[in-house]
């Protein structure tokens, strides 16, 4: 099962990496057109964008579009790298889920449902999704040395 999960994880990582890298290297990424397009989909008999998401776009995302112009491509790139390497895999998959839901809420389908489903499989698999990856060594190291309050308290004494 670890081999199948690795294939899924690497596929997702490559998808995120290429999407983010393309936005970073092709020049100045600008999300304002995408966000304006999403706003146009909040009305009608069958709106593709929920009203509450339209409120978020109009009042938070668009006024801060310069921040989103940095967060989106770098978020995609970093999620891609983490999934490819199998490091912080569950967190990377969760961030991928958040981005895919953001795109879906904005009325864009594309590969987002497929990626979302695969990311959920990675999340459900938990540590098994990164047995063939850096998490195999990184997570035990962190548990032993990193964020353990007892070991920090002992080292202070």
Write the DSSP assignment of 73-89 as a string of letters.
HHHHHHHHHHHHHTSSH
Higher pLDDT, 150 or 102: 102
Q: Is the pTM of this model over 0.75?
A: yes
Alpha-carbon distance of 55 to 58, in angstroms, equals 5
pLDDT digit string, tens, across residues 49-90:
999 999 999 999 999 999 999 999 999 999 999 999 999 999
pLDDT digit string, tens, across residues 12-46:
999 999 999 999 999 889 999 999 999 999 998 89
Alpha-carbon distance of 88 to 28, in angstroms, equals 29
pLDDT digit string, tens, across residues 87-130:
999 999 999 999 999 999 999 999 999 999 999 999 999 888 98
133 Cβ contact list (under 8 Å, min separation 6): 6, 9, 85, 86, 87, 89
Report whether 96 contacts 16 (CB < 8 A).
yes
């Amino acid at each position: 099962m670890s081999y199948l999960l690795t294939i899924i994880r690497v596929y997702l990582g490559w998808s995120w990496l290429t999407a983010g890298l393309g936005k970073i290297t092709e020049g100045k990424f600008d999300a304002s057109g995408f966000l304006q397009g999403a706003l146009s989909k909040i009305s009608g008999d069958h709106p593709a964008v929920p009203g509450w998401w339209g409120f978020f776009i109009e009042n938070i995302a668009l006024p801060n579009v310069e921040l989103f112009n940095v967060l989106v491509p770098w978020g995609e790139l970093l999620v891609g790298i983490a999934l490819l390497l199998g490091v912080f895999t569950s967190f990377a998959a969760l961030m991928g889920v958040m981005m895919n839901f953001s795109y879906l809420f904005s009325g864009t389908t594309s590969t987002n449902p497929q990626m979302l489903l695969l990311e959920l499989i990675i999340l459900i698999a938990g540590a098994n999704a990164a047995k063939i990856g850096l998490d195999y060594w990184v997570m035990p190291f962190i548990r032993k040395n990193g964020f353990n309050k007892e070991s920090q308290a002992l080292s202070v004494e």
